[in-house]
Amino acid sequence: MNKAKAFEVAKKLTMIIVLVLVTAFFAVKTGGAILLPMNISSLISQNAYVFILATGMLLCILTGGNIDLSVGSVVCFVGAIGAVIMVNMNVNMYVAILIMIGVGILIGAWQGFWIAFVRIPPFIVTLAGMLIFRGLSNVVLDGMTISIKDQETFVKFFGGGADCYIPDFFGNGSLNLTCLFGGILAVAVFVILQLKDYFTKKKKGYETGNFAGMIGKLVVVSGVIVWVAYKLAQHKGIPSVLIWVLIVVIIYGYITSNTTVGRYFYAVGGNEKATKLSGINTNKVYFLAYLNMGFLSALAGMVTIARMTSAQPTYGQSYEMDAIASCFIGGASAYGGIGTVPGVIIGAILMGVINLGMSLMGVDQNMQKVVKGLVLLLAVIFDVVSKRGGKLIEKN
């Protein structure tokens, strides 16, 4: 393996290595508390909204480093509408879900129109959206908190409450066998798909990378999946909200890596003019990115109010920052055209580990923000410097 290939492999594994080192650091500092089954489960449940929003944010960033600052406010607004119509208007849960999804999509279409067809900068449009939908959330809720504890079906459906876990279908002992079998099944599917993809590319003459490196990746990822499944099995099993996260990750991972539409996002971010000249409607690509962001914001809104079992005007604050940070930390380029769904999830997990670790250590909230800001800055610096061939300062 030459130096160039070795550098590329190291670059791809950087965030995984950092995640392992950060986890090990907090494991030592917390006396192993961060690795307790209960805390692993909490890490997933508390960061479900980040996984969902960061996946959608990735598509916006791919189009050229664009972001959506409104997602936190949209999460709050959609949740507020859902709580009001279910509690105050006694609307059927499934109708309420459709209404919330419809509101999210309409918001995405509204913002996507101005960005894609009128070409107003995404920063301005989504900043306006952040203010508009935060204000509307207060109007809808009248500045009050609405409890949805009585909406038990909705809360359990979206993974809220203390007992929202997948039942153990194979046993009732201290170890949740359903969770353990699920982890083993996930490993089997992952390995089969990765090997199939490798040999398909090799057969067609595409670049496949180093086979030994791929085997190493399979071993590491499979080990992590089994370890997490074992930890969850020791607590209460699979949190039901994890099912929503997996659905989003699998679908969007497939879209971005195996579909023509998915490749359009990378093409626009790589070179919009060339993409347009090749016959691709770049306006539609921008529109789809923000339409999709509205849809996933609605889903995150439902997950949020289900977990909190209420809706209030302050929900969703800084959610956009968590999503954006997860994307850049997970390897998405600040210039667009580069980034993967698995990378974004690694970034989100890293942010979650840092949050949980510092909370267990009793670190002040203000210092937590300082640390997260520095981590984000370092991730972007790494991206920029690596594109300059290791040069920190660009000479004119």
Contacts of 301 (CB under 8 A, 6+ apart): 74, 75, 76, 77, 78, 79, 82, 100, 104, 316
Task: Looking at the chain, list the stretches that DSSP marks H as alpha helix, in order from N- to C-terminal side.
Answer: 3-29, 37-46, 48-62, 71-83, 93-116, 122-141, 152-157, 177-204, 211-234, 240-258, 260-270, 272-277, 282-308, 319-329, 341-361, 365-387
Structure tokens at 223: 């080990």
pLDDT of residue 392: 62
Q: How long is the chain?
A: 396
SS3 state at 146: strand
pLDDT of residue 389: 60
For residue 333, which of 388, 371, 392 has the smallest C-alpha distance?
388
Structure tokens at 80: 């507020």
* Helices vs. strands in the chain: H and E counts, helices first: 16, 2
Cα four-point dihedral sign 353, 356, 362, 367: positive
- Where residue 42 falls (left for φ over 0; alpha for ψ -120 to 50; beta otherwise) is alpha
Backbone angles phi, psi at 13, to 5 degrees: -90, -5
pLDDT of residue 302: 95
pLDDT of residue 204: 78
pLDDT of residue 202: 81
At residue 215, what is the residue type? Answer: I
Digit-by-digit pLDDT tens for the chain (396 residues) are 555 555 555 566 677 778 888 889 899 988 888 889 888 988 888 899 999 999 999 999 999 889 999 999 999 999 999 999 999 999 999 999 999 999 999 999 999 999 999 999 999 999 999 999 999 999 999 989 999 988 888 988 888 766 688 888 777 777 888 888 989 998 998 888 888 888 887 887 777 777 777 787 788 888 888 998 998 888 888 888 999 999 999 999 999 988 999 999 999 998 889 989 898 999 999 999 999 999 999 999 999 999 998 999 999 998 999 999 999 888 888 888 888 898 899 889 988 898 889 988 888 888 888 888 888 888 778 767 766 665 666 665
Cα 226 to Cα 270: distance, rounded to the nearest angstrom: 37
Helix (H) or strand (E) holding 310: strand 310-311
Structure tokens at 84: 């009001």
Cα 80 to Cα 330: distance, rounded to the nearest angstrom: 31
Cα 224 to Cα 187: distance, rounded to the nearest angstrom: 10
Cα 217 to Cα 293: distance, rounded to the nearest angstrom: 30
SS3 state at 170: coil
Strand partners, 311: 146
